[in-house]
Amino acid sequence: MKEQFFKYIQELQDTITSTLEKIDGKATFKEDNWQRAEGGGGRTRVIENGAIFEKGGVNISKVFGELPEALRKQFGVEEGHFFACGLSLVLHPTNPFIPTVHANWRYFEMYDSTGAIVTQWFGGGQDLTPYYLFDEDAIHFHQTCKNACDKHHPEFYPKFKKTCDEYFWNAHRNEARGIGGLFFDYLKENEEFTIEDRYNFVTQVGDSFLESYVPIVQKRKEIAFAKKHKDWQEIRRGRYVEFNLVHDRGTLFGLKTNGRIESILMSLPPTVQWVYNQESEDNSLEARLLEVLKNPKKWIY
**Catalytic positions, please?**
102
The torsion of the CA quartet 198, 148, 60, 164, rounded to 10 degrees, works out to: -90
Between CA 217 and CA 130 the distance in angstroms is: 11
Between CA 92 and CA 200 the distance in angstroms is: 29
Tell me the CA distances in angstroms from 30 to 33, 43, 67, 119, one per residue in order: 10, 10, 31, 35
CA atoms within 13 A on the CB side of 143: 11
Q: Quote the distance between the C-alpha of residue 40 and its chain's center.
A: 22
